[in-house]
Amino acid sequence: MTEVTALAPLEDLGGEAQPLLTVRGLTKHFPVRGDLFSPRKTVHAVDDVSFEVAKGETVGIVGESGCGKSTTARLLMHLMDYDSGDIIYDGMKVGRELSLRDLRRAMQMVFQDSYASLNPRLTIEESIAFGPRVHGMAAAEAQLLARDLLGKVGLRPETFANRYPHEISGGQRQRVNIARALALSPRLVILDEAVSALDKSVEAQVLNLLVDLKREFGLTYIFISHDLNVVRYISDRVLVMYLGQVVELGPIDGVWGNPVHPYTRALLAAMPTSDPDNRTQIAPITGDPPNPIDPPQACRFHTRCPFVDTVCSMVAPKLADIGTDGHQAACHMAVAGSGHSRAPGPNAGT
């Protein structure tokens, strides 16, 4: 049997210390048509989002619908253009030092809807082999690679290679999507609600697979989910988004163990319990998330925040260091002298 050859991954440039991905000031606004008498409105989908992803880590992104987490993923993949900001992959500015073609080899994405993201007219093997062929691999070689990857994601190639997407289950389809993402030897995989549509027992199988593949291929993940338990399980660091902005970020244990932003606290407190003797008694916040069309001014959370003060509707809080481990939150209460009545005094010790 012929040796399976994969595409060579993009060379590592900056070494361990250089972030694999740096995002600076990423912004995307969608104009929406106003009615006859009102001016044009704007959806602030992603607003000045900055973060870094280190080589080999898993960064979770959490938030409710409309918070911009999926738009962020699509902007990173350049599936849509952004208004402003920089995306830097391993020291190379995307679009300048790194072509889109190379970026899409280095970075791949798995979507929530496993069925919609596969071409229904291609067999599973053809779908997986498609990317490598576009990038210049010979057909026979690409087929071998596809079969090898099917085995790696736990699907026997002799059973599955020639099936069509509608002939397999949702969990199996998601495995195919993961295999297809890996076919280009990416270093970064963006998983956008990739396990959300799966049943719990299947979700656990796919999460185990993701952990194994990360180790085997030395991958870096960006893991987007609304399920905080899953994010805690898989992530090293986490970003909490609210209405297009990052409100808190840091190491998962720090953020989950000591949430600083009232929204993060509310999200965590809103998780259903696992203890029948300790049910939730009070909803942490009331009301629905506001519409991202023309979101609240200054701090976007101030309309739902139980600790709102005058300064919150006047000045937008910036991300500020909470500890020394990269834990940051954008809340006036965390910053001494911000003008919030609950902010630590200027001489506060810690």
Decide: helix, strand or coil at residue 172.
helix
Instruction: State both tokens at 67.
Output: 């918070």
Q: Which SS3 state, helix, strand or coil, does residue 127 take?
A: helix
CB of 69 to another protein, least distance (A): 12
Residue 41 touches another protein, criterion: CB under 8 A? no
Binds another protein (CB under 8 A): choice among 52, 232, 258, 307: 232
Regarding beta strands 21-32 and 41-53, do their DSSP bridges make them parallel or antiparallel, or are they unpaired?
Answer: antiparallel
Contact call for residue 35 and another protein (CB under 8 A): no
Chain Cα centroid distance, residue 97: 24
The reply to whether 200 sits near another protein by the rule CB under 8 A is yes
- Which residues inside 47-86 make contact with another protein, applying CB under 8 A? 64-65
Helices (H) and strands (E) in the chain, counts: 10, 12
- Residue 268, judged by CB atoms within 10 A of its CB (0-12, 13-18, 19+), counts as middle
Q: How many residues bind another protein (CB under 8 A)?
A: 48
Interstrand relation of 107-110 and 188-192 (parallel, antiparallel or unpaired): parallel
Nearer to another protein, 141 or 203 (CB): 203
Binding status of residue 38 toward another protein by CB under 8 A: no
Region near another protein per CB under 8 A, out of 10-18, 35-43, 44-52, 225-233: 225-233
Strands (E), the chain: 21-32, 41-53, 58-62, 84-89, 92-93, 107-110, 188-192, 220-224, 237-242, 245-251, 320-321, 328-329
Among residues 5, 151, 226, 258, the one that binds another protein under rule CB under 8 A: 226
Among 131, 132, 250, 289, binds another protein (CB under 8 A): 289
Of residues 286, 324, 347, 350, which one binds another protein by CB under 8 A? Answer: 286
Q: How far is the CB of 57 from another protein (least distance, A)?
A: 12
Residue numbers at the binding site for another protein (CB under 8 A) = 64-65, 169, 171-172, 199-205, 207-208, 211, 226, 228-230, 232-236, 252, 266-267, 269-277, 279-289, 291
